């Protein structure tokens, strides 16, 4: 009897999760249930699975609404009917097709109209839905004669008064209005709750025909879906056999290119992998990924294939990845094995600038009917819940800010806030809007609208209405097409080297990305700012602690820096064993034999597989099953017990004692949950090394490209400083030399106009185009005549020094600009048959103070360029110790003057602590630790220079300063406002710092890790 049920996927309308909806129906003994969310099929697959488990017959459909007005309810008679509904709604969402008041000519769909929207003529598949409260209307002759086409309409939106109130709050949020201003048309009726079927039939007892019609409609509907059938594109060519033939040919061509003709081990690995790929029906998946990578190479774009796909030698031979699995002992079974019934996914990165080009190719090559982005449900977040709910109750902005930003215990507890808390708690994990998955692409065999309605976000690529978990359940696996700025930096650097030096750098040649002596020197001392993945303070500190001087250690570092590994204590243990290889014993010979590269520690997921195989005697495929059981999203107690029992049984057959087996399993279990895929680490390390190679040998080109790709971990100022330290002459923007992006001319680095706030990109483009077309600007007046720029834009250009080529001071240029613009209209730009002579204005001499330019720069771009922050201090003192000498002061107290670059927050039991990164007056970086006790009295006061007093601690070659006291140093007053005291220190607040927050716990100490440093033989040390 329930043809019209809503879940909370009817966004900002429904109040019940699919689970709550099904559980309530089951409790009431309901045997058939239809889910018809508003304009979406997001939840129908989860709904089907839950109904099947609850013994309820599921029916799927959609409630069609236009401007919050119910047009009709479309109910699929069979699965193909869902596709009909999807295509109609997709045409509306993606093509702008207007939703008709009446349903189109559906073939496998029942249509139920509300009483308020009955068409003049009902088709054979169309009915009229009657609510219990509308039965009195049936006395009308025009309605009574339609009795044979009527069904019961009992919508379900809530369960109790609590959910009804929540529904009203959601509707107020959706309409951006107060609860008190909601109209009856904005909300559902109070009758839209679950009744028992007996109750419902009693309501309609005098209309048995309506009851029979409803039951007949329900009986004719079905929702059959095979969750075991693979929905991805089945073949790249015409058939499975031809796919295998093509993949084999390409693999052997790549084998010869990568390894030559005589590598027996590589050939055997290729043969074994091809057999598994074929048996697993993944040939088309490999070929599609190869095709995308091939297209990328053909048009000159750089990509990085990473993730577990790099464990495959076939993907290496196809050019999808650049990581040799033989070199790093990577297990193919980590990526694909016969025990795996769902396709693995390739993660492939492109530059953030090029990704759309690749996406356009995929949609065009495989057809827009078969390709879509995976969707994602964006949930109401903690801060937004309190703000949104508080707003509909009419709370003022100040109170909303307090609710959103303060901890709950600090909220002012009044009756309204209690309501906000109560209903806010109910909204946790509610979807607020549908969005696009960051990178997941679906390529289906059937038209994708057979399964989902598509939506068109502003980005311009259609998205499915379900998320990646649902897609995986449906066997519609995604291909991850990612983007990152690191690749953009590498691409741009290579292009800039070609432009400035005429040198072609083949950055894809992996031989230059693994063992460069000079690059290794940079690695060992953490000189990696600007380099993808290895530039953060934590990573640079790790590289120094390890004295990382080769690619293999970099691979390990890329893994142990991961939050899970570091949090487990394995990063600390790895550092100890790396620096003291003679102060520990391997737990067992198998660990020594298979984990020698990582000192007996399971750093990688592949290590877990190794130990399970060689210590426990399980097969490679079963070992990967064990790893996934412990670390995958499907982790369960039952599965873990099954895996554990199997492991203990196998170890017993291998002759291991119970105690020995228990310790080995303990390590596997604790490591599997955090360990990182080695192929993933290797891919990151490869790209990091490529970045580092370019930084080492082409530092100016590299840093310019970093700036143009909007940096990485740090703000632009840090990369400009790094360019300066590398020998670059930093030039402020100039209207005759600069462009939107930062440019390199010899050793001169001209900052781009894109760094200036307040300049419209359109105006800057016109300015550059005009210069390229008609030559350099000869004066300020010449510029104003040729470029349509407003007063504010011209003032910004003057203040940043873009007209310094004229030789005139800024205040003189400002007066000149005002005089020129009095009677000048921008629309008259360029309308000159004959160039008139430039007017010469005679102005009194206007003096400027020494550091006025620096304060202009701080105001416009946030930091000084014409001098250093140290030059702007009132004191001439520069500290007692320099960074270059810190290693000499272990356990000694030092006083340093430093400029704050960044700080990272870490919570502890005693309160917040921070790790800081600074530069001294020589421009060299160092790091500090600030514990809660010192921060209580000596806290950070924003960006700027500080005097630091602390003790030097050298931890495995890496000096840090534990700060006891610090004070922010006073800068000089702003000389531009010498007569306005209230503005003397106003612009100083523009000096920035990078602050990163984390919720991680402090890393455990050595005694808390519990990893044996002594050999155990049959359970006895």
Residues 283/244, Cβ–Cβ less than 8 Å: yes
In the structure encoding, which two tokens stand for residue 1005, read together? 């100490």
Stretch 2-9: mean pLDDT, rounded?
Answer: 96
In which band, very low, low, confident or very high, does the pLDDT at 619 lie, cut at 50, 70 and 90?
Answer: confident
Q: Is residue 404 pLDDT above 80, yes or no?
A: no
**pLDDT at 610 (0 to 100):** 86
Greatest Cα pair distance in the chain: 101
Grouping H, G, I as helix, E, B as strand and the rest as coil, residue 175 is helix
* Beta-bridge mates of residue 484: 351
Cα 449 to Cα 459: distance, rounded to the nearest angstrom: 20
- Measured N-to-C along each axis, helices 678-697 and 699-708 cross at an angle, to the nearest 10 degrees, of 120
Cα 468 to Cα 447: distance, rounded to the nearest angstrom: 18
809-864 residue pLDDT tens: 898 899 888 888 876 665 556 544 345 555 555 656 666 778 899 999 999 999 99
151-177 residue pLDDT tens: 999 999 999 999 999 999 999 999 999
Phi-psi region of 334 (alpha: psi -120 to 50; beta: other; left: phi over 0): alpha
Q: Lowest mean pLDDT: which of 557-571, 820-834, 918-932?
A: 820-834
**pLDDT at 680 (0 to 100):** 86
Cα 396 to Cα 383: distance, rounded to the nearest angstrom: 16
Q: Is residue 957 pLDDT above 70, yes or no?
A: yes
In the structure encoding, which two tokens stand for residue 434, read together? 């549908």
Stretch 597-601: mean pLDDT, rounded?
Answer: 90
Residues 317/366, Cβ–Cβ less than 8 Å: no
DSSP 779-803: SHHHHHHHS---HHHHHHHHHTTTT
Residues 99/92, Cβ–Cβ less than 8 Å: yes
Cα 566 to Cα 556: distance, rounded to the nearest angstrom: 12
Higher-pLDDT residue of 424 and 71 is 71
Pairing label, strands 454-455, 729-731: unpaired
Cα 247 to Cα 255: distance, rounded to the nearest angstrom: 12
In the structure encoding, which two tokens stand for residue 1006, read together? 């050595």
pTM: 0.84
**pLDDT at 414 (0 to 100):** 78
Stretch 911-935: mean pLDDT, rounded?
Answer: 94
Cα 978 to Cα 975: distance, rounded to the nearest angstrom: 5
Stretch 745-768: mean pLDDT, rounded?
Answer: 92
- Residue 752: DSSP 8-state: P
Q: Is residue 292 pLDDT above 80, yes or no?
A: yes
The closest of 130, 146, 158, 153 to 75, measured between CA atoms, is: 153
Q: 642 Cβ partners below 8 Å, 6+ apart?
A: 629
625-645 residue pLDDT tens: 777 776 655 555 666 677 788
The closest of 307, 322, 273, 305 to 677, measured between CA atoms, is: 307
In the structure encoding, which two tokens stand for residue 91, read together? 């045409």
Q: Is residue 1010 pLDDT above 70, yes or no?
A: no
Query: Which of 83-87, 305-309, 762-766 is most confident?
Result: 83-87
- Residue 505: DSSP 8-state: -
**pLDDT at 834 (0 to 100):** 42
Cα 156 to Cα 998: distance, rounded to the nearest angstrom: 42
Helix (H) or strand (E) holding 491: helix 485-501
Q: Is residue 795 pLDDT above 90, yes or no?
A: yes
Q: DSSP alpha helices (H): ranges in 393-446?
A: 397-405, 415-426
Higher-pLDDT residue of 378 and 38 is 38
Query: Percent of the chain having pLDDT more than 70?
Result: 93
- Residue 973: DSSP 8-state: P
Q: 108 Cβ partners below 8 Å, 6+ apart?
A: 76, 77, 78, 80, 81, 84
Please provide the size of the chain in residues: 1021
Stretch 109-132: mean pLDDT, rounded?
Answer: 95
Higher-pLDDT residue of 342 and 866 is 866
How many alpha carbons lie under 13 Å from residue 236 in its C-beta half-sphere? 19
DSSP 95-131: H-PPPPSS----SSEEEEE-GGG--SS--TTEEEEE-
**pLDDT at 831 (0 to 100):** 47
Q: Is residue 779 pLDDT above 70, yes or no?
A: yes
DSSP 139-207: GSHHHHTTGGGEEE---B-BSSHHHHHHHHHHHHHHHTS-GGG--TTTS--TT-B---HHHHHHHTTT-
In the structure encoding, which two tokens stand for residue 776, read together? 């350099």
* Beta-bridge mates of residue 750: 731, 743
The closest of 663, 592, 737, 679 to 1010, measured between CA atoms, is: 663
Stretch 656-668: mean pLDDT, rounded?
Answer: 86
Q: 3 — phi, psi (to 5°)?
A: -95, -5
Q: Lowest mean pLDDT: which of 72-81, 605-614, 835-844, 969-978?
A: 835-844
Query: Which of 136-140, 821-825, 980-984 is most confident?
Result: 136-140
Cα 783 to Cα 775: distance, rounded to the nearest angstrom: 11
**pLDDT at 37 (0 to 100):** 97
**pLDDT at 833 (0 to 100):** 39
**pLDDT at 850 (0 to 100):** 80
How deeply is 277 buried, as exposed, middle or buried, from its count of CB atoms within 10 A (0-12, 13-18, 19+)? Answer: buried
Cα 814 to Cα 843: distance, rounded to the nearest angstrom: 11
Query: How many other CB atoms are there within 10 angstroms of residue 525's CB atom?
Result: 15
In which band, very low, low, confident or very high, does the pLDDT at 1020 lie, cut at 50, 70 and 90?
Answer: very low
- Scan for tokens 């502890």, then name that residue: 908
Mean pLDDT, rounded, of the chain: 89
How deeply is 435 buried, as exposed, middle or buried, from its count of CB atoms within 10 A (0-12, 13-18, 19+)? Answer: middle
DSSP 801-841: TTTGGG---HHHHHHHHHHHHSS--GGGTT--SSPPPPPPP
Stretch 718-729: mean pLDDT, rounded?
Answer: 96
Query: Which of 217-231, 298-312, 474-488, 506-520 is most confident?
Result: 217-231
């Amino acid at each position: 009897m329930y043809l019209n049920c809503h879940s909370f996927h009817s966004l900002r309308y429904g109040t019940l999760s699919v689970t709550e909806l099904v559980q309530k129906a089951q409790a009431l003994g309901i045997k058939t249930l239809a889910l018809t969310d508003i304009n979406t099929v997001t939840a129908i697959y989860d709904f089907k699975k839950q109904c099947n488990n609850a013994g309820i017959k599921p029916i799927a459909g959609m409630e069609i609404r236009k401007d919050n007005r119910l047009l009709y309810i479309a109910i699929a008679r069979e699965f193909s009917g869902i596709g009909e509904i999807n295509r109609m709604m997709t045409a509306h969402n993606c093509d702008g097709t207007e939703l008709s008041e009446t349903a189109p000519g559906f073939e496998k769909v029942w249509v139920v109209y509300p009483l308020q929207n009955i068409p003049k003529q009902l088709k054979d598949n169309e009915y009229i839905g009657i609510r219990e409260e509308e039965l009195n209307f049936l006395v009308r002759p025009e309605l009574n004669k339609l009795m044979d086409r009527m069904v019961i309409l009992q919508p379900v939106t809530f369960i109790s008064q609590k959910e009804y109130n929540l529904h009203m709050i959601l509707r107020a949020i959706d309409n951006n209005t107060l609860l008190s201003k909601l109209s009856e048309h904005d909300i559902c009726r109070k009758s839209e709750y679950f009744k028992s079927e007996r109750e419902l039939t009693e309501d309609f007892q005098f209309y048995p025909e309506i009851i029979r019609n409803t039951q007949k409609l329900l009986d004719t509907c079905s929702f059959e879906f095979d969750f075991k059938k693979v929905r991805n594109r089945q073949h790249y060519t015409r058939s499975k056999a031809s796919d295998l033939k093509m993949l084999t040919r390409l693999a052997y061509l790549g084998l010869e290119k990568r390894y030559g003709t005589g590598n027996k081990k590589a050939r055997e690995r290729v043969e074994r992998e091809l057999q598994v790929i074929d048996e697993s029906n993944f040939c088309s998946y490999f070929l599609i990924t190869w095709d995308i990578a091939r297209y990328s190479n053909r048009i000159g774009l750089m990509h990085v294939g990473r993730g577990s796909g790099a464990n495959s030698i076939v993907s290496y031979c196809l050019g999808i990845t650049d990581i040799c699995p033989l070199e790093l002992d990577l297990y193919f079974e980590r990526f694909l094995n016969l025990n795996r019934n769902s396709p693995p996914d390739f993660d492939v990165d492109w530059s953030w600038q090029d990704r759309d080009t690749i996406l356009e190719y995929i949609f065009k090559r495989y057809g827009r009917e078969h390709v879509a982005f995976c969707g994602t449900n964006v949930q109401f977040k903690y801060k937004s819940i309190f703000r949104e709910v508080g707003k509909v109750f009419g709370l003022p902005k100040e109170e909303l800010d307090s609710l959103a930003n303060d901890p709950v215990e600090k909220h002012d507890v009044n009756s309204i806030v209690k309501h906000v808390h109560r209903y806010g708690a109910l909204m946790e994990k509610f979807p607020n809007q549908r969005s696009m998955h960051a990178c997941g692409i679906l390529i289906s065999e059937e038209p994708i609208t057979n399964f989902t309605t598509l939506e068109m976000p502003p980005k311009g690529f259609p998205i499915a209405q379900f998320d990646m978990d649902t897609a995986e359940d449906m066997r519609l696996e995604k291909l991850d097409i990612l983007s990152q700025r690191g690749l953009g930096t590498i691409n741009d650097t290579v292009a800039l080297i070609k432009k400035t030096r005429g040198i072609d750098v083949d950055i894809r040649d992996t031989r230059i990305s693994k063992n460069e002596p000079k690059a290794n020197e940079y690695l060992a001392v953490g000189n990696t700012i600007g380099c993808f993945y290895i530039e953060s303070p934590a990573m640079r500190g790790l590289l120094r602690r390890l004295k990382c001087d080769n690619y293999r250690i970099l691979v390990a570092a890329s893994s142990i820096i991961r939050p899970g590994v570091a949090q487990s204590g394995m990063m600390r243990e790895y550092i100890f064993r790396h620096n003291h290889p003679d102060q520990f014993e391997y737990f067992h010979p198998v660990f020594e034999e298979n984990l020698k590269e990582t000192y007996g520690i399971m750093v990688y997921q592949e290590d877990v597989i190794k130990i399970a195989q060689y210590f426990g005697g399980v097969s490679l495929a079963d070992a990967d099953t064990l790893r996934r059981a412990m670390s995958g999203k499907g982790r369960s107690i039952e599965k873990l017990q099954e895996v554990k029992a199997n492991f203990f049984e196998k170890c017993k057959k291998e002759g291991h004692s119970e105690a020995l087996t228990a310790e080995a399993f303990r390590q596997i279990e604790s490591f599997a949950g955090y360990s990182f895929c080695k192929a993933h680490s290797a891919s990151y390390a490869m790209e990091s090394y490529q970045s580092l190679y370019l930084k080492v040998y082409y530092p100016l080109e590299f840093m310019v490209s970093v700036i143009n790709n909007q940096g990485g971990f740090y703000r632009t100022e840090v990369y400009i400083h790094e360019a300066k330290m590398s020998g670059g002459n930093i030039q402020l923007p100039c209207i005759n030399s600069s462009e939107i992006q930062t440019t390199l001319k010899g050793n001169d680095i001209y900052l781009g106009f894109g760094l200036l706030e307040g300049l419209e990109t359109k105006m800057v483009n016109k300015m550059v185009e005009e210069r390229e077309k008609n030559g350099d600007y000869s004066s300020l007046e010449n510029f104003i005549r040729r470029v349509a720029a407003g007063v504010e834009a011209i003032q910004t250009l003057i203040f940043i020094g873009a007209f310094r080529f004229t030789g005139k001071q800024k205040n003189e240029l400002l007066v000149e600009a005002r005089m020129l613009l009095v009677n000048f209209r921008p629309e008259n730009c360029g309308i000159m048959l004959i160039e008139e002579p430039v007017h010469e204005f005679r102005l009194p001499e206007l003096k400027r103070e020494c550091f006025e330019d620096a304060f202009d720069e701080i105001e416009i771009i946030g930091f000084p360029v014409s001098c250093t922050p140290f030059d702007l201090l009132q004191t001439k003192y520069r500290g007692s110790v320099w960074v270059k000498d810190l290693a000499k002061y272990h356990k000694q107290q030092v006083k340093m003057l430093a400029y704050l670059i960044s700080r990272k927050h870490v919570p502890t039991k005693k309160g917040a602590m921070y790790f800081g990164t600074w530069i001294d007056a020589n421009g060299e970086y160092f790091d500090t630790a600030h514990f809660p006790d010192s921060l209580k009295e000596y806290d950070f006061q924003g960006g700027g220079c500080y005097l630091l007093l602390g003790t030097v601690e050298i931890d495995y070659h890496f000096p840090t300063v534990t700060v006891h006291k610090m004070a922010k140093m006073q800068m000089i007053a702003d000389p531009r406002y010498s007569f306005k005291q209230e503005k003397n220190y106003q612009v100083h607040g523009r000096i920035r710092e990078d602050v990163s927050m984390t919720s991680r716990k402090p890393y455990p100490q050595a005694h808390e890790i519990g990893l044996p440093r002594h050999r155990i033989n049959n359970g006895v040390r």
